[in-house]
Structure 1
Amino acid sequence: MFGFIGCNESQKSELLTASVREALNSPTTLSIADEIESAEYIPLEVTNNDASLIDGVVDFAITNKYIYVLVDKQPRIVLFDRKGHFLRTFLHQGQGPNDFRGMIGFIQADEANKRFYVIGDKIGVYTLEGEFIEDFPINYPLIYAHYLGKGRFGAVSIPFMPFQEGGFGIGVFGEDGEAIMTKNDFYSQLVPKEDSGFTFGVMSSPSDCDKQSVLFKTASNDTIFRLLSDTIQPALVAKLGNSNEEIIRGLNIRDIKKLPADGDVFVTDIFETPRYYYLRMMLNGKYYVASVEKQNGITLVEQCDIPDTKVSNLADFNIQLGLVGTKGYKQFPIWGRVLGNNLVQVVTPYELEMFKEQTKIVIPQELQTKNADANPIFIIYKLVN
């Protein structure tokens, strides 16, 4: 499962810790409003061109000029301008002469260097307008990769592959596909080494600030690690207080359980701002979000207001989970990805209707729509500098 983050924190002499389990006992409302300067609402246009229809957002990227959307059905990247006007199909996944030959898993815009990365079975490099430049090979079994600058890519190994049989864990790789550094010593005495690898607990979170990085966490360990172009280092210890069963679930590839046991906290995704880490978590079938202040480790937790439906039903591309977040800004739930100085949230009209009918959500006027089948809406929150 993947989530998205923002800017890197400054170096500290001691590793930051967060008492997440303790904070869960006294839920409150997070003060994310202190970090938001303004909000911009951008509905994506639907035209007579069927290519403008967005059937589920797999991934997205944003520049000052464009919004790129990786679509779930009929895999392709669709290009809109920053006002939400449909422009064209940026790239198809397929076998045609100008198609991306292979699976498209993730996309990333590097506006400073005028490059666009398409990551799947290989890494395709394009201009921001879609002109092909070159391909980089992927010689390692990954489930996720992100460009870190300096010709380096951070990557997470494919799950259910033993560390001792090729599972590299997390690593930094060069453009030639060769490993620069890796870390796969995520072992526990509770699981035989030959059965140890990543399972459903794996997460990775990209950053697009001056010093690009990727955050990583697995269910078998409370530590969140940061991958940079030249190092892998611990960033935060969450102190979840989970059982041995959850450690085994997150590490034993022979004992697959999709959801954590009652009483165990599962961090599903993360983003960060210059001042805080934000963690979204599941506990006993309910969602919570936590904020961790980087200056002192003070941790607050808020319970999310979600529809009365199976948690598994929320994990589809028509429901972006953008509304499973904190109501600390104008009573509207927020969860998203930090890109530069913006927190970007994606919601769908279908999702808005479901939350409106089954929760006490307050929908801003800019998000009210009569068509539940309309394209997703991008919300761009400008963060306080």
Structure 2
Amino acid sequence: MKKMLFGLMTAIATFTGCEPRQASGELPRIDLTATSFASGQLGIADEIESIEYVPLELTDESLIADVLDLCVSDEYIFVYSTRQDGVLQFDRKGKFLRCIAKTGNGPGETGQIISLTVDEENRLFCVSEYFSTSFYSFDGEFIKKIENPRPYSYQFSVGPNTMVELGRMYVPMNTPGMFSLGVFNWATGDTVAFRHTIGDTSLMPLEETSLKGWIYSGSMDGMLCYSDGIDTVWNVNAKNIVPAFLINTGYSAEEEKETRSSKTGNEAVDGKYSVFGFFETPRHYFVKCFEGSDQSQFYLYGLDKETGELKRETSSLNAQELFKNNWTLAGIGIRNTKDNGLPVWPYLSYPSKKQMVQFNTAVEIEYLKEKYPGLKEHPVLLQVTEDSNPLVTIYHMR
């Protein structure tokens, strides 16, 4: 997920709507600059088996302001929020249980949290900070902290004792210890898979190249990872790191160099497309992007993995307005014709478990009710007021 709007940071043959399915061995490619697309609206309802709504309980101890990160296990929901001293743990019905990983310098306490993940097989909740990871039982008991000298931005569990790590952003790639993507076994200390660089390294020397704007989402067997200025979305799983699909943003070589330069920020280029997020389902890859530096007009793309058909829709919502209510822009999502509920755009996806998870803040839901009056009739959304805690939605896929 990309956290870049308003500067906030924290995802071969070209297919158009009229072209045939991809040849064997070629990577799927989403061409954001295409001029023709398959007819019909982007759809996802036929891939959804059921929808589970989880209103998070609101108490004095569980009041959530802005959500900074969230992860979900088979039994629990963990939320890292501003104005809270640690991570809030809820059960899958939304009942508040406890606060863990509180701020401090003592055993089990944390400083600057950068990501949350769950090792389901070992029943461990994992909290990543810069250069360390703390492990807790699902009952909130602190187990241990492991120091880690590698310069990473995020960590995600992709199997028992196995973490994907995304390299540190805005640091020149020739810095000692720098890397792009890695898979590591924290129990044994072994490196499972590793890539020092991603993208075209011939464009400029490593001392002038850096990673920008990580975007990530679950893949069928691990994580999909993408950094601005490259054309490849990588699949990183418990065994290896391989290309998953390509995205053509229309950037020239010079513009790509500028985007990837360690001397520049993360600005978009006028007239070109910038990826904001993506996710995978069994049948599709979906991408959300915007054009140019205005960042108010967003587009949704859907690529059918089997046929190669590419569809596109233009959002009717103003992203600048929506961003004030939820930085994930979940409201700019795919039309939900399954139960006529909220637009579908997951913050987390677990395709291997056939689940996708999104959260919508209460003020975002109230905003969407005004934009889409039909939402006022939805039985779950009727119970949400502007003072409610966020609503977590879990989509169970076919």
TM superposition score normalised by structure 2: 0.82
Q: 1:306 aligns with which of 299, 317, 326?
A: 317
User: 1:262 maps to which residue?
Assistant: 270
Alpha-carbon distance in 2 for matches of 1:226, 1:370? 37
Q: 1:30 aligns with which of 42, 45, 48?
A: 42
Q: 1:289 aligns with which of 297, 300, 312?
A: 300
User: 2:16 maps to which residue?
Assistant: none
Alpha-carbon distance in 2 for matches of 1:185, 1:374? 42
Contact 1:343 1:380 in 2 (8 A): yes
Deviation at 1:194, TM superposition (A): 2.4
User: 2:148 maps to which residue?
Assistant: 138
Alignment CA distance shift 1:361-1:190 (3 Å) = farther
User: 1:380 maps to which residue?
Assistant: 394
Unaligned runs of 5+ in 1: 6-11
User: 1:67 maps to which residue?
Assistant: 77
Q: 2:118 aligns with which of 88, 106, 109?
A: 109
Q: Which has the higher contact order (CA 8 A, sep 6+)?
A: 1
Deviation per CA, 1:271-304: give whole Å up to 9, x if none.
Answer: 1122211211112431112122222332212222
Deviation per CA, 1:94-145: give whole Å up to 9, x if none.
Answer: 224442x332221122333322211123111222222222222221111111
Deviation at 1:33, TM superposition (A): 0.8
User: 1:9 maps to which residue?
Assistant: none
1:156 aligns to 2:143 (yes or no):
no
1:42 aligns to 2:54 (yes or no):
yes
User: 1:335 maps to which residue?
Assistant: 345
Q: Map 1:1-385 to 2 at 5 A.
A: 2=2, 13-22=25-34, 29-47=41-59, 50-99=60-109, 101-121=110-130, 122-166=132-176, 167-175=178-186, 179-180=191-192, 181-187=194-200, 190-200=203-213, 202-207=214-219, 211=221, 213-244=222-253, 246-256=255-265, 258-284=266-292, 285=295, 286-307=297-318, 310=320, 314=323, 318-329=326-337, 330=340, 332-336=342-346, 337-339=348-350, 340-357=353-370, 359-360=371-372, 362-363=374-375, 364-369=378-383, 371-384=385-398
Deviation per CA, 1:339-362: give whole Å up to 9, x if none.
Answer: 3222212111111222333x3363
Deviation per CA, 1:19-53: give whole Å up to 9, x if none.
Answer: 33216767852111111122222211112xx2110
Question: What SS class does the counterpart of residue 101 from structure 2 fall into?
Answer: strand
Contact 2:108 2:134 in 1 (8 A): no
Task: Please give the root-mean-square deviation of Cα atoms over the aligned residues, in Å.
Answer: 2.7
Alignment CA distance shift 1:75-1:283 (3 Å) = farther
Alpha-carbon distance in 2 for matches of 1:147, 1:178? 15
Question: What SS class does the counterpart of residue 374 from structure 2 fall into?
Answer: coil
Unaligned runs of 5+ in 2: 4-10, 12-23
Contact 1:27 1:303 in 2 (8 A): no
Alpha-carbon distance in 2 for matches of 1:149, 1:344? 19
Alpha-carbon distance in 2 for matches of 1:199, 1:35? 32
Alpha-carbon distance in 1 for matches of 2:38, 2:25? 29
Contact 1:144 1:204 in 2 (8 A): no
**Identity of aligned pairs, percent?**
29
Alpha-carbon distance in 2 for matches of 1:34, 1:370? 27
Contact 2:211 2:227 in 1 (8 A): yes
Alignment CA distance shift 1:335-1:24 (3 Å) = farther
Aligned residues: 365
Alignment CA distance shift 1:187-1:161 (3 Å) = farther
Alpha-carbon distance in 1 for matches of 2:262, 2:140? 40
Contact 1:323 1:335 in 2 (8 A): yes
Deviation per CA, 1:206-233: give whole Å up to 9, x if none.
Answer: 45x6x3x221112211111111222211
Alpha-carbon distance in 1 for matches of 2:123, 2:201? 43
Question: What SS class does the counterpart of residue 118 from structure 1 fall into?
Answer: strand
Alpha-carbon distance in 1 for matches of 2:275, 2:40? 18
- Paired residue type of 1:119: S
